[in-house]
Amino acid sequence: MLFHRFEVLVLFLATILPLLLAIAYFTLMERKIRSAIQRRQGPNLVGFYGLLQPLADGLKLLLKETIIPSSANTGLFIVAPRITFGRMLVGWSVRPVAERLVFADVDLGVLFLFSVSALSVYGILRAGWASNSKYAFLGGLRSTAQRVSYEVSIGFTRVNVILCAGSMNLTDIVKSQSHIWYVVPLFPAFLMFLVSAVAETNRHPFDLPEAEAELVSGYNVEYSGMGFALFFLGEVGNRLLMCGTITTLFFGGWLSPSVTLEFIPQSLWFAFKVLFFVFFFVWLRIAYPRYRYDQLRRLGWKVLLPSALGRLMFTASVLVAWDGLCLFRCYFDS
């Protein structure tokens, strides 16, 4: 029993510590890419070529004083960032990085991820309301409405993968792509999932909840110190989680694209694919202007949702027709 608890603790640390390190250096990667595209110097003073800048930023936030507004609801104000950060960790607990490298390999992994991602609105709403600030409150309402709008489209596009794989287990979904990745037969669904993922993570050009010119900073405007750090870690971890979800559902997870490249470790293949989508998210922030709020809602409810429903019906029809054709051939062959 003691050995089992020690094994669970080791697996938990092996999952969480690399994730926190990846979140820290994602910020450095984003700042380096933006500075390179904009032809300016990024962080380059702390450590060799700025490699210790994320650690310095984390230490700064750790040492800063946590200020709670006098008119805020103290309990909810403190709990809100912890909900956001904890939800992100729970989401990564069922994400398989390699064939046997997963903290909890649950059978309903896709449904579990869908449920956990829906909980993100609770931390955001509590932060916006508990701050007792009109800017934070408006940012919380915007972010909640945006996430709910695009969560529906993401859910329908996930069902396409579930129908093709015949399972909700994330490991089984990856193994079912051993012959062909789902991005090929489900390319329209992949595009809809990608756009919805960018919108749900409040990334540019859909970062309306954090519009600096309108809301100063959004729902976390009143936070400082570790409260702001937990919100920041939760948001960045959620972006990486979305990149990992895209990799798992449409790009074969840890599977290599060729038999000749199978000597590369599975976890590295997963990391390479996630890094590709991380770069894509950063590039979007630089290349495209911000949407208007009415355009954002129109895209979610009038374009992506009907398209996702139509694609789901088409995928189900093709699979039913294929199964019927196979049964028909088997009947006449016998």
More confident position, 309 or 217: 309
**Model pLDDT, residue 137:** 84
Same domain flag for 36 and 108: no
Same domain flag for 28 and 109: no
Hunting for tokens 């976390």 — which residue is that?
Answer: 220
Q: What is the mean pLDDT of the chain?
A: 83
pLDDT at 333 over 80: no
Taking residues 116-124, report their average pLDDT: 81
For residue 208, give the nearest of 135, 161, 146 by alpha carbon. Answer: 146
The pTM score is 0.87
Same domain flag for 29 and 57: yes
**Model pLDDT, residue 32:** 87
Same domain flag for 219 and 267: yes
Same domain flag for 8 and 90: no
pLDDT at 2 over 60: no
How far is the C-alpha of 177 from the C-alpha of 170, rounded, in Å? 11
Tally of domains in the chain: 2
* Among candidate residues 29, 48, 63, the one where a domain is terminated: 63
Hunting for tokens 């508990």 — which residue is that?
Answer: 130
φ, ψ dihedrals at 263, nearest 5°: -75, -15
Q: List the structure tokens of 63.
A: 């040492």
Same domain flag for 148 and 104: yes
**Model pLDDT, residue 33:** 86
Task: Reduce the DSSP state of residue 110 to 3 states and report it.
Answer: helix
Taking residues 181-209, report their average pLDDT: 86
Taking residues 261-266, report their average pLDDT: 75
**Model pLDDT, residue 6:** 66
Same domain flag for 150 and 283: yes
Tallying the residues shown for the chain, one arrives at 334
pLDDT at 296 over 60: yes
Same domain flag for 164 and 108: yes
* Among candidate residues 63, 87, 108, the one where a domain is terminated: 63
**pLDDT classification of 139: cutoffs 50, 70, 90:** confident
Tell me the range of 176-180, 188-192, 217-221 where mean pLDDT is highest: 188-192
Same domain flag for 211 and 97: yes
Same domain flag for 274 and 251: yes
Same domain flag for 52 and 88: no
At 213-253, the pLDDT tens digits run 665 667 888 888 888 888 888 888 888 888 888 999 999 88
pLDDT at 159 over 70: yes
Q: How many helical (H) and strand (E) elements, i.e. helices and strands, does the chain have?
A: 13, 0
* Among candidate residues 63, 80, 111, the one where a domain is terminated: 63
**pLDDT classification of 190: cutoffs 50, 70, 90:** very high
Taking residues 180-207, report their average pLDDT: 87
**pLDDT classification of 47: cutoffs 50, 70, 90:** confident
Among the residue ranges 44-53, 134-143, 205-214, 315-324, the one predicted with the least confidence is 205-214
Residues of the chain with pLDDT > 90, as a percent, come to 5
Residues of the chain with pLDDT > 70, as a percent, come to 91
How far is the C-alpha of 249 from the C-alpha of 247, rounded, in Å? 6
How far is the C-alpha of 94 from the C-alpha of 170, rounded, in Å? 8
Same domain flag for 147 and 296: yes
Full domain range(s) for residue 26: 1-63
**pLDDT classification of 140: cutoffs 50, 70, 90:** confident
Give, in order, the Cα–Cα distances in Å from 321 to each of 314, 317, 318: 10, 6, 5
Among the residue ranges 3-12, 53-62, 99-108, the one predicted with the least confidence is 3-12
